[in-house]
């Protein structure tokens, strides 16, 4: 308890430092960003289930004219819109990578790679955010998930994973996501944001209730994407972030295989957990145009007789 109190006192003390005497006047211009995110369950001392994820994002004003951007949603009035492209690779394995035969009853091996066109629309006056994303890609051997994991293990002098020959078959990824968030408690150093999310397509079909709690010295959640090159924002930020999610699952291609192909092995629909909970706790530190985040995620079992799981998330963002 003493440790937790010390952390809380540190956050509060940092949050009240007014280093730069900046005003609360926030420009309505949208910035450009580059972001790199890396997930790995190595941070939880495991090597199973969602074992690794990499995402590269580029947010540029000219991407407004990307033809796919016209399929994305935004606020008609009062919105500040950020158009972006991303590339993502995710890898999934059973609870053990030392079984050289078909691991019945466990999560199948799966690799997923896709390109995303996305739009973040912010309305600070009404304290609301709309995020939409269209994914186009592939799952299965063509995503090179096997080669990626074996290469990493080889470079780290780790054991070579066994069982990738039983991974889900090649199939297309076409998915659409919509997320809406609204400020519930928006104070200077404390924020609580609630919302909902829906995904539909060939990879994921689900709906979620989401909540985010932030405590510390930070920009308003609906004013920007966390950092800015424009005057009027805090130069230094340091805050804690707590997220929660309850998800109702209709379909998960990484467990059930693709919609247009037949895999050697998948989880049967009756063994899918239809209600999944996830949560995370992390810290963010930012100075001027650079932001760093480390978050620890936890998720309840996604299929019958499965295990709960955790992984670490690292993120670096640069504004230009």
Task: Assess if residue 13 is contained within a domain.
Answer: no
Task: Assess if residue 3 is contained within a domain.
Answer: no
Q: pLDDT at position 28, please?
A: 67
261 token code pair: 């192909």
CA distance readout (Å), 78 to 39, 124, 164, 268: 34, 8, 49, 46
Contact 233/224 with Cβ under 8 angstroms? yes
Task: Please tell me the total count of domains within the chain.
Answer: 1
1: which strand partners?
A: none
Q: pLDDT tens track of the chain, all 320 residues?
A: 444 444 444 444 444 333 333 334 455 688 999 999 999 998 888 889 999 999 999 999 999 999 999 999 999 887 899 999 999 999 999 999 999 999 999 999 999 999 999 999 999 999 999 999 999 999 999 999 999 999 989 988 888 999 999 999 999 999 999 999 999 999 999 999 999 999 999 999 999 999 999 999 999 999 999 999 988 888 999 999 999 999 999 999 999 999 999 999 999 999 999 999 999 999 999 999 999 999 999 999 999 999 999 999 999 999 99
CATH of the domain at 131: 2.40.128.140
Task: Assess if residue 168 is contained within a domain.
Answer: yes
**Pairs from 144-150 (Cβ < 8 Å, separation ≥ 24):** 144/111, 144/113, 145/89, 145/90, 145/91, 145/92, 145/109, 145/110, 145/111, 145/112, 145/113, 146/109, 146/111, 148/52, 148/89, 148/91, 148/111, 149/51, 149/52, 149/91, 149/93
Q: pLDDT at position 4, please?
A: 44
Task: Assess if residue 217 is contained within a domain.
Answer: yes
Q: pLDDT at position 67, please?
A: 96
Range of the domain at 243: 30-319
Task: Assess if residue 147 is contained within a domain.
Answer: yes
Report the distance separating Cα 277 and Cα 244, nearest Å: 8
Task: Round the CA-based radius of gyration of the chain to a whole number and report it.
Answer: 21
Within 10 A of 115 (CB to CB), how many other CB atoms are there? 14
Please name which of 90, 259, 255 lies closest in space to residue 172, comparing C-alpha atoms.
259
Task: Assess if residue 19 is contained within a domain.
Answer: no
Q: Model-level pTM?
A: 0.89
Task: Assess if residue 225 is contained within a domain.
Answer: yes
- Parallel, antiparallel, or unpaired: how do β-strands 204-217 and 190-201 relate? antiparallel
Report the distance separating Cα 117 and Cα 178, nearest Å: 12
Task: Assess if residue 67 is contained within a domain.
Answer: yes
């Amino acid at each position: 308890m003493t440790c937790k109190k010390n952390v809380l006192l540190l956050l509060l003390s940092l949050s009240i430092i007014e280093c730069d005497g900046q005003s609360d006047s926030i420009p309505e211009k949208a910035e450009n960003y580059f972001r790199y995110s890396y997930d790995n369950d190595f941070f939880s001392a495991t090597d199973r289930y969602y074992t690794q994820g990499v995402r590269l994002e580029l947010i540029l004003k000219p991407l407004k004219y990307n033809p796919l951007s016209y399929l994305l949603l935004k606020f008609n009035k009062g919105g500040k819109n950020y158009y972006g492209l991303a590339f993502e690779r995710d890898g999934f394995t059973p609870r053990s990578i030392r079984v050289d035969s078909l691991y019945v009853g466990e999560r199948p091996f799966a690799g997923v790679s896709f390109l995303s066109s996305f739009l973040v629309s912010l309305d600070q006056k009404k304290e609301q955010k709309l995020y939409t994303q269209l994914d186009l890609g592939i799952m299965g051997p063509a995503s090179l998930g096997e080669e990626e994991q074996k290469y990493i293990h080889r470079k780290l002098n780790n054991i070579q994973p066994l069982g990738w020959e039983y991974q889900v078959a090649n199939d297309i990824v076409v998915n659409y996501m919509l997320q809406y968030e609204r400020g519930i408690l928006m104070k200077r150093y404390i924020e609580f944001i609630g919302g909902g999310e829906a995904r539909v397509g060939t990879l994921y079909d689900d709906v979620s209730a989401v909540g985010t709690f932030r405590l510390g010295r930070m920009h308003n959640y609906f004013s920007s994407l966390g950092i800015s090159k424009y005057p009027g924002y805090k130069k230094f930020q340091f805050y804690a972030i707590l997220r929660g999610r309850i998800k109702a699952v209709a379909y998960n291609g990484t467990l059930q295989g693709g919609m247009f192909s037949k895999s050697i092995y998948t989880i049967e629909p009756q063994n899918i957990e239809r209600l999944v909970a996830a949560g995370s706790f992390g810290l963010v530190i930012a100075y001027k145009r650079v932001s760093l985040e480390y978050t620890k995620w936890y998720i309840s079992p996604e299929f019958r007789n499965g295990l709960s799981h955790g992984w670490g998330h690292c993120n670096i963002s640069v504004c230009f």
